[in-house]
Structure 1
């Protein structure tokens, strides 16, 4: 299996496949109503909507890096503000995340195999996730998605128990 095939498989599995640890990202998000998405339980730093916007921002940044742009914080910010809650906004956030990942998966599938181990252009900065190879960049995004999907699952559970 090529690196492109492996990374495509791994990202698809986390997003909408059958990961061994539990529900994939899209299943978790499809089970969240907009009231739950914007609720921030006592003691929580972020709502589910905040987390999805953060995931969306970093997926966009990874896609930009894969397309040769200079690494930076996401153009919309690390933790974009969601503004006033609405059902339409929530659906847009989830749909935007799905569409962006369709684009990213296309780039991953078509990425030149010899270039996966090439470093992205910037020096190592762990906070920005820079100075890594393209393969490490995509693996990092996959890990990022797993981490935040666990937060979504826990917040959903906390909100349901509190309801």
Structure 2
């Protein structure tokens, strides 16, 4: 199995498969009502919709880097504004997350095997995730997706508990 196949399989598994740690990203997100997506529990830094837009933004940034662009903050911002709660808007965010990851998987599958070990063009900046090679870039995004899907699951659980009280 090539590295491109391995990384695209790992990403697909985290997004929609049966990862060993529990529910996939999409399984978690598809359980979220639009009301819950826009609600921010007291003490929370972000709501679920903000986290989803953040995941989309960083997936787009990773695609830009895979396409040879210099690293930076995502063009839509690190934490894009979600705006007023709206059911259709929430469904669009979920679909956008799926679409951007389909596009990234296509880039991964076509990425030249000999370039995976090459460093991206920028010096190491831990906050921006720069100064790594292409394999580390994709592995980091996979970890980013897992991390934020855990946050989403916890926020949804908190919101469910609040409504039961």
TM interval, short-chain normalised = over 0.9
Unmatched 5+ stretches in structure 1? none
Query: 5 Å matches for 1:105-120?
Result: 105-120=105-120
1:2 positional shift: 1.1
1:71-121 deviations in whole A, cap 9, x for unaligned?
A: 110001111110111011101111001001000000000100000000000
Unmatched 5+ stretches in structure 2? none
TM-score in terms of structure 1 length = 0.99
Tell me the distance in 2 between the aligned counterparts of 1:42 and 1:21: 28
- Are positions 1:12 and 2:16 aligned together? no
Tell me the distance in 1 between the aligned counterparts of 2:72 and 2:46: 22
Instruction: Report SS of the residue matched to 1:7.
Output: helix
1:127-150 deviations in whole A, cap 9, x for unaligned?
A: 111110000000000000000000
| Alignment partner, residue 64 of structure 1 | 64
TM-score in terms of structure 2 length = 0.97
Q: Please report the RMSD computed on the Cα atoms of aligned residues, expressed in angstroms.
A: 0.6
Tell me the distance in 2 between the aligned counterparts of 1:75 and 1:50: 16
